[in-house]
Amino acid sequence: MKRQLLYIVLSLALVSFIGITTQEDRWKAPKGAKELKNPIKASKRTESVKRGAKIFKTRCMICHGAQGKGDGIGGKALTPKPQNLTLKMVKSQTDGEIFWKITNGRNDMIKWRPILSEEQRWDVVNYVRTLK
């Protein structure tokens, strides 16, 4: 009887531990990132998306794949894997959150701030928005 109780307590502890770690593992941009305004005007978006597509091809496709599904050859051996950018969990984020992640990186996702200009990062955000 005592032993059974111990098992129950231990498995409850394990379940909550797994819950916490998987939750922490999801990459969340900090609060302020959500409100970052996309500075590229609606009338300039088509041009911006075109520039973003070029940047994506040369800089991101290797890991995120041609359609952004996270299946690029450069990402095969990485843990965690390059994110599938067509998923709802990415689409549901604001432009600012995606911009923040591209800017700051995490794990094998490169920190693009020193490599791409601010405008280039917004161009690539606008392109990522078009992925289906």
Selection from 131, 113, 8 nearest residue 71 by Cα: 131
Closest CB to ligand HEC among 71 and 108?
108
78 binds ligand HEC per the rule CB under 6 A: yes
Selection from 99, 87, 92 nearest residue 127 by Cα: 99
Of 3-11, 14-22, 42-50, 61-69, the window that binds ligand HEC (rule: CB under 6 A) is: 61-69
Residues 88-117 that bind ligand HEC (CB under 6 A): 90, 93, 98, 101-102, 106-110, 112
> Which 3 state secondary structure label does DSSP give 128?
helix
Site string (3-42) toward ligand HEC, x via CB under 6 A: ------------------------x---------------
74 binds ligand HEC per the rule CB under 6 A: yes
Closest CB to ligand HEC among 49 and 101?
101
Burial letters 12-36, b for 16+ CB under 10 A, else e: eeeeeeeeeeeeeeeeebeeebeeb
The nearest distance, CB 44 to ligand HEC, in angstroms, is 19
Among 33, 40, 49, 83, binds ligand HEC (CB under 6 A): 83
